[in-house]
Structures are given as structure tokens and as C-alpha cells.
Amino acid sequence: MSPPPPPPPQARLLLDSAALIANWQDFARAVGGAACCAAIKADGYGLGARETLVRLAAVGCRHFYVAHWQEVPPLLPLPDGIILSVLHGVTADELPAALALPARPVLVTAAQVALWRQTGRPCEAMVDSGMNRLGLAPAETADVLAGMEVAVLHSHLACADDPAHPLNEAQRACFAEVTARVPAGAFALANSAGIALGPAFHLDLVRPGIGLFGGGLMPDGRVSRTVGRMQARIIQLRDVPAGGSVGYAAAFVASRPSRIATVALGYADGYARGLSGVAWASAAGVRCSAAGRVSMDLAAFDVTDAPALAEGDWLDIPFDPETAASLSGRTSYELLVALGQRFERVWA
Ligand SMILES: *Cc1c(COP(=O)(O)O)cnc(C)c1O
């Protein structure tokens, strides 16, 4: 017997390859001769790591970063010549899996360096230049890494999205002292926002993430191009009289006789609850405001002004990450990585 057909999805993410590629190319241009890599952790910031890797590899991105070893197998096989690195380094219990995978660790502690040293394989390493998160202490880095083949020596900025913050220059100067003493194939400091801080922060290699996927500002100060657009299907339309309420806590009360569309999209899909009452959908160019609370699997929109809509139709749900962030009080990072698995991700 053939397996039953898969149920069709009721919500979609329409993903724009051209926007993704243009965002990466903007970063690559901004850093001139430095290698422009891509951070594709958390499933490519929720949009799809494998799809991102394939598209960016095709336009010249050679080097990709994930956070965990678990993120490596879904990216295989790697296209020819592509390097994949794991930002959290490697622990003893991860070592057998790590040795069997075509990726290398960014070692973050002296214990990790000692562990990896026994393998004789090349590595990358992270120096903590002032974020106090992950990485080797600047003073210990030369000794800890002595004799290791370090392909890339990294550090990471804590405040890059605040160009005036004094920690940016303090971290740059701290890392410069380390790079003067510690041999490595390349040195890297900048994430997306770090690239905008200028050439002094570019060094040999940059690691943009959010800006590839539609969040944050590009080096020229424009907002990143939106890569993912949402659509959700109308499950039910209903007419609500003036004074009638919609959804949990009766948070929306109709001020006029209203037509309400309930769509298959909720906070379980990453459509943040903070968008309740402040977001909107669009139907054939008509703006339809959110009606009441976003619930786990459903959201409602006032479609009174789009009378041609029928049950089963799709609504466009704007979700450009920075607008959704300011409406919901969350960050574009949180919103993107929370995009759920029930979406059909359709790349064009
Ligand atoms: C996530 C991450 C990046 C990418 O940062 P964005 O702000 O998304 O550009 C770069 N470097 C490291 C070490 C990271 O963890």
C-alpha cells in the first residue's frame, strides 16, 4: 500500500533567494578583500539552513557557521570546497561524532583545545575580548594554542549594534593585541552589525547572520531586505455584530458590523503573541488589522473591507523582521528563530 498523502500545509513562508543573495553580496562588497562567511545557526535563523547554504555557496560564500554539531548532519553533503564550522567548539562526549563529520570546531576553552590537540586536525578558536561569554582569555591564548594549526582565530563583539558604545573599540584593541602574537590563518571579529563599524573591524573574515535573513541594518544603513513572507489560510469567516467580541479575553470588540477571518497561524508557529491587536494582514492590497489575541494555532483579522475573501483563501501576513520586532517588543533574532515547523517553506 502506498503511504497516505501528506496533509497540505495551512501556512507558508515564501522565501526570496534573490533577497538573501543580495543581502550577502552587500556584506561581501562592504568588506572588500575580507572573506564574507555566513552564520546559519538555528536552521538559518528559522528560514532554512540547508537552503541558505546551497544558495550562498552558489554565489561565492565559502565558509558557514553553525552553533552545534547537531546542526551539521542536515547540511550534508556539503558542496565542493565549502567549510563548515561549529561555534560552540567540541566537548568530550561530542568528539566521536565530531570526528566523523566534515566540520571543524571553533574551540572556546583551554580544555577544548587540549581535547582537540590529540586529533591533530585543524581548528578555529575563539578569544573572549570583553564579552565574557565564550572564548579563551586573551592572556592565555598564545600558550593554550601553541603548536596548534588554527585556521581562523575569532572574537565576538558584545555591542556592535550600538556604534557609539566604547566596548567596540576596547574589544577591537584587545583582539588586535592577541592577533599580533598568535599565529592563525585568518582573524575574524565582526557579525552583521560589526561590519557596519568599518574596515578596522573587518580583519580577514566576517560572520554576518541576521542581516542575511532580513533583520538589522546593512552596512549602508538601510534595513536588510526581507527574505521570508508569510501566508496563512482562512479556515473560517464569520460576521460579528457591532459590540461582539473576538478571541481570548474578548480583547477585540467590533466597533461596526465586522467580517472576521480566522487563519491557521499562531504563536506556536512563531507568530508572536505580542503582535496581538497591532499587526495586520493584507488581502489584495487591503490592510486588514489584527482582531484580538494571537492564540497558539490561530489568529484573527478584520477583513470587513475585503469582502471578496472566501474560506480557503490565503492572507498575506507581513512579517518583515524589524517591523514585527518593534510591534511585538521582541527582537528580529527571536522572531526569526521562533518560526515553526508547520510552515511550508517555499523558496523562489
Ligand atoms: C550568531 C553569531 C554571529 C552572527 O551574528 P549576527 O548578529 O546575526 O550577524 C557571528 N558570530 C558569532 C560568534 C555568532 O555567535
Cα 208 to middle of ligand 1, angstroms: 6
Give the full edge-to-edge strand order of the sheet including 186-188: 35-36, 205-206, 186-188, 150-155, 123-127, 104-107, 83-86, 63-66, 38-39
d(CA 291, CA 269): 18
Atom of ligand 1 nearest to the CA of 106: 13
Cα 135 to middle of ligand 1, angstroms: 14
Report the pLDDT value the prediction gives residue 268, as an integer from 0 to 100: 98
Task: Give the other-Cβ count within 10 Å of 249's Cβ.
Answer: 9
Q: How many domains does the chain have?
A: 2
Pocket of ligand 1 (CB under 6 A): 39, 41, 87, 156, 191-193, 207-211
| Of the residues 165, 190, 213, the one at which a domain ends | 213
Do residues 145 and 88 share a domain?
Answer: yes
Cα-to-chain-centroid distance, residue 285: 28
Atom of ligand 1 nearest to the CA of 211: 9
Residue having the nearest C-alpha atom to atom 10 of ligand 1: 191
Do residues 137 and 162 share a domain?
Answer: yes
Do residues 241 and 203 share a domain?
Answer: no
Report the pLDDT value the prediction gives residue 129, as an integer from 0 to 100: 98
Q: Which runs of E-coded beta strand occur in 92-166?
A: 104-107, 123-127, 150-155
**Can you name the residues that pair with 315 across neighbouring β-strands?**
232
Q: What is the pLDDT along the chain (348 residues), one digit of tens a residue?
A: 789 999 999 999 999 999 999 999 999 999 999 999 999 999 999 999 999 999 999 999 999 999 999 999 999 999 999 999 999 999 999 999 999 999 999 999 999 999 999 999 999 999 999 999 999 999 999 999 999 999 999 999 999 999 999 999 999 999 999 999 999 999 999 999 999 999 999 999 999 999 999 999 999 999 999 999 999 999 999 999 999 999 999 999 999 999 999 999 999 999 999 999 999 999 989 999 999 999 999 999 999 999 999 999 999 999 999 999 999 999 999 999 999 999 999 999
Do residues 188 and 287 share a domain?
Answer: no
3-state secondary structure of 227: coil
Answer whether 138's CB lies under 8 Å from 110's CB.
no
Report the pLDDT value the prediction gives residue 1, as an integer from 0 to 100: 78
Cα 194 to middle of ligand 1, angstroms: 9
Asked, for residue 255, whether it belongs to a domain, the answer is yes
Answer whether 267's CB lies under 8 Å from 253's CB.
no
Atom of ligand 1 nearest to the CA of 208: 9
d(CA 198, CA 129): 18
Report the pLDDT value the prediction gives residue 160, as an integer from 0 to 100: 98
Report the pLDDT value the prediction gives residue 107, as an integer from 0 to 100: 98
Do residues 23 and 50 share a domain?
Answer: yes
Do residues 64 and 132 share a domain?
Answer: yes
Do residues 150 and 196 share a domain?
Answer: yes
- Read off the DSSP letter of residue 280: E
**Can you name the residues that pair with 261 across neighbouring β-strands?**
237, 301
The CATH number of the domain holding residue 292 is 2.40.37.10
Do residues 68 and 169 share a domain?
Answer: yes
Look up the pTM and report it.
0.96
Cα 309 to middle of ligand 1, angstroms: 42
3-state secondary structure of 324: helix
The CATH number of the domain holding residue 179 is 3.20.20.10
Quote the Cα angle for 138-144-150, to 5°.
90
Residue having the nearest C-alpha atom to atom 4 of ligand 1: 209
Cα 345 to middle of ligand 1, angstroms: 23
Candidate from 132, 195, 207 with most ligand 1 atoms within 8 A of CB, to mutate: 207
- Read off the DSSP letter of residue 265: -
Report the pLDDT value the prediction gives residue 216, as an integer from 0 to 100: 96
Tell me which residue range forms the domain holding 252: 228-347
Candidate from 36, 40, 52, 65 with most ligand 1 atoms within 8 A of CB, to mutate: 65
H helix or E strand, kind and range, residue 335: helix 332-337
| Of the residues 164, 179, 213, the one at which a domain ends | 213
Asked, for residue 318, whether it belongs to a domain, the answer is yes
Which residues are known catalytic residues? 41, 248
Asked, for residue 102, whether it belongs to a domain, the answer is yes
| Of the residues 213, 239, 262, the one at which a domain ends | 213
Asked, for residue 219, whether it belongs to a domain, the answer is no
